[in-house]
Amino acid sequence: MADPFTMAAVGLTVAGGAVKAYGEYSAGQSNAAMYRYRARVAEINSQINRKNSDFTLDATDTNVRRSGLTTGFTIGKQKTAQAAGGFDVNTGTNLAVRDSTREIGREDQATIFKEGGRKALAYRNKAVMDDEESRMDMFAASQSERAGLISSLGTLLGTAGSVSSKWMQASQAYGSPSY
């Protein structure tokens, strides 16, 4: 029969290996949960960015229309003032002034449209990046689970080898156990 100290060492090796394997498995599960959480946050951010893009486009349309109305109102005021002054509103400088105002209004509308489009595109691009971040986090979650499992299995196999070695040493030193 094996020496009690050797048997205690074997028992402690088995217990230590099992605890370490469980810890490695749990760490893999914990990391996976953290990555799944991050993936969900990225998904939500993607949804928010897509909505912000839509809101930006809607606001841009409103601002372009408002700018057009303001330009039309300004042109109307100009024409009224010109007519009140007794001038011919359909020729010469009076017409050129209103045409210039109309052109400036169009440029303002184009600028508003371009800036709104840029902001909306930036939100869309951020949404795409969030989608990719979510996919990478989900991949990292699956890899963390796999790594925790493989590491714990490796520890169990290493522990089995260590126990086997100690058992063999004890058997050689004290003889084979009798059944």
Q: What average pLDDT score do residues 85-105 get?
A: 94
DSSP 8: H
Phi, psi of 168 (to 5 degrees): -65, -45
In terms of Cβ atoms closer than 10 Å to its own Cβ (0-12, 13-18, 19+), residue 15 is: exposed
Q: What average pLDDT score do residues 165-177 get?
A: 69
pLDDT tens-digit series, residues 41-93? 999 999 999 999 999 999 999 999 999 999 999 999 999 999 999 989 999 99
d(CA 2, CA 73): 104
pLDDT of residue 94: 94
d(CA 159, CA 154): 8
pLDDT tens-digit series, residues 16-35? 888 888 899 899 999 999 99
What is the largest distance, in Å, between two alpha-carbon atoms of the chain? 128
